Chain A
Amino acid sequence: MSALPGTSSSWLRTPPEGKRKNFYQNVVFGLTILATIVVLTPIVIVAGYVVREGLSAITLEFLTEGPRRDGAEGGIWPVIVLTGYTLILVVVMAVPFGVGSAVFLSEYARPGRLLRLINLTIINLAGVPSIVYGLFGAAFFLDILGGEKSLWVVSATLALQALAIIITSARESLLSVTRGIREGSLALGVSKLRTTFFITLPQALPGIITGVLLAISRAAGETAPVIVVGAILAKNVSLNPSAVINERAQVLSFELYGRITEGIGYPEERKWGIALVLLTVVLIFNLSALFLRWRISQLGSVRRN
């Protein structure tokens, strides 16, 4: 894409005064490359450090057993299971409402000043700091609904943020489905609802899934709202699904934060172990989303040919 006309051949016949120009140009371009490298090093540092320090903590016991002696021994199995429950619940709550709202916004709502205002709000809600969602969760689920500080409250709070992300990305993928094929279906006498279900949604599906994966990844790594609505450190509790209502939340991100700040005497190595598990979970969702998006762009370029 950088091969624009004129650039390559202009190198051949450089006037003397142009030599200096090219020198500056090379310096500036060199700086941009340097900046790029600086931006990307933290990934290598964070991932490298976490893996190097954490790998030795990862044992079968660490991953599959409950904590002993306040977590200093044993494993983080309850945290892993309850993190799983939390994320499943986030998906169950956020995906239907998120996709439903996106369909509403892109297919049904009449454009106008009100819709524009709503769009603007929702798009920007995805950019609201996560701790604000935590405060809302505390105010709504705990103070107003009078709920206990149980796992579902944490899930519901994280789901709110996921909702904003899912609506935004799903709406974008729905809008990117061309008007042509919608009209093609409508002109056959297929109703709007069926057109949405059989033409528009299938077309937008990869994009919607990408958004959902990113939202899950975000929810898995989110710590601030969990601190606000409240979670506990690793503890042996009943892990059957009723824990969603009966138990307080234990999630990886909070486990890590709690051990960093309060874990005097908590083995250093185990903190890195938690960090490694957390990073792995988040990256799995993140990389799947990236891969899917890459596939979409591939398909897109094939289709355009």
Chain B
Amino acid sequence: MTNETTTTTETGAETNLSTGRMAGGGVDVKATVAAAAAASPKKTSTDQVALSLNNVGVWYGQHEAVQGVSFDIYQRATTALIGPSGCGKSTLLRCFNRMNDLIPGTRVTGTISVEGVDIMGKDVDAVQLRRHVGMVFQKPNPFPMSIKENIAFGPKRLGLAKSKSQMDDLIEESLRDAALWDEVKDKLDEPGTSLSGGQQQRLCIARVLAVKPDIILMDEPCSALDPIATLKIEDLMRTLAKDYTIVVVTHNMQQAARVSDWTAFLLAGEERTGRLIEYSPTEQLFTTPRDKRTEDYITGRFG
């Protein structure tokens, strides 16, 4: 673990040096990709599919927010969803754990399958699904309880720990895995809200890890954080990607380049309906995009 942490920190530093922080500069992104690729060889293909999207569409009442999206998300890889604001990234992401069920008037068409089972199906329990497909939100949302209780909340409600010692182990393990343990181990009883923004976000990640999900969804997890906190979360994402399937929505193209193995680019037209424009290994998408619109977007020539 110590070894891993060092490596990732170095990678973080290196990527930081080699890139400007502004999103949208095509050259910078290419440099980032190159740097990231050099630092840690990425998985560009794998035979195991975690989620398979087939012709997915989402309606909010009369408004079609996403249309005809099909692609495969690979297991234990990081997939980034990028695209201009309002193109339906969050909407699509929230389909993967059926958070959209909670918004009245939302309708999802097509199929999203795990091992051939459509998670939109009537026989799938949305609550059970969410336990296996965790989610980290844009704004850190720790519960109004102590740090410890924040982590323990999920396992307790789901009955995952049999004893107090087991729970304590689980809390420590989750906080360690979220790279937060060293910072909070002496103040586990303080309110989660007393932490800094970046720490809160890692607390939220630890909270998700505590229920042992298979897939972790992140919706712009760093957009409310400062650059240092952002780097920490990115390091964490790279570490977690070894064991989890991660899907991340981001506006920051350097971030997509740094952390993801695959990238999906979505775009909405006049009618504000998002479509998948291109889905490729990240390196390829940023260096040799197949679609003109992708090229325009990543070079910043686009809304």
Contact = CB atoms under 8 A, between A and B. Distances in A.
Contacts of B97: 187
Interface stretch (A188-196, A233-241, A245-253): A188-196
Interface stretch (B49-57, B130-138, B264-272, B294-302): B130-138
B157 A183 contact: no
B211 A189 contact: yes
A187 B157 CA distance: 13
A190 B144 contact: no
A46 B60 CA distance: 57
A139 B230 CA distance: 66
A187 B144 contact: no
B130 A188 contact: yes
A106 interface: no
Given A180-B137, A198-B157, A199-B143, A186 B104 contact: no
B17 interface: no
Contact of A183 (B129, B132, B137, B153): B137
A119 interface: no
A203 B131 CA distance: 23
B141 interface: yes
Contacts of B127: 186, 189-192
Given A181-B141, A184-B137, A189 B153 contact: no
A191 B126 CA distance: 9
B141 A188 contact: no
Contacts, number: 71
B256 interface: no
A185 interface: yes
A303 B154 contact: no
Contacts of B102: 183, 186
Interface in B135-168: 135, 137, 139, 141-144, 153-154, 157-158
Interface in B81-138: 97, 99, 102, 104, 127-132, 134-135, 137
A183 B98 CA distance: 12
B174 to A, nearest CB: 12
A186 B99 contact: yes
A175 B227 CA distance: 34
Interface centre among B128, B142, B143, B193 (most CB of A within 10 A): B143
Contacts of A186: 99, 102, 127, 130
Contacts of A180: 137, 139, 141
B135 A187 contact: yes
B94 to A, nearest CB: 9
A111 interface: yes
Interface string A229-265: 0000000000000000000000000000000000000
B208 interface: yes
Contacts of A303: 144, 193
A29 to B, nearest CB: 40
Contact of B141 (A183, A190, A191, A198): A183
Contact of A188 (B104, B139, B144, B208): B208
Contact of B157 (A110, A112, A194): A194
13 contacts: A180-B141, A181-B143, A184-B207, A186-B130, A187-B99, A187-B134, A188-B131, A189-B127, A190-B131, A190-B154, A190-B157, A192-B127, A199-B143
- Closest CB pairs A-B (n = 6): A189-B131, A180-B141, A187-B135, A188-B154, A189-B130, A184-B141
Interface of B: 97, 99, 102, 104, 127-132, 134-135, 137, 139, 141-144, 153-154, 157-158, 193, 204, 207-208, 211
Given A189-B128, A189-B131, 16 more contacts: A181-B141, A181-B143, A184-B141, A184-B143, A184-B204, A186-B127, A187-B130, A187-B135, A187-B137, A188-B207, A188-B211, A189-B130, A189-B154, A190-B127, A191-B127, A194-B157
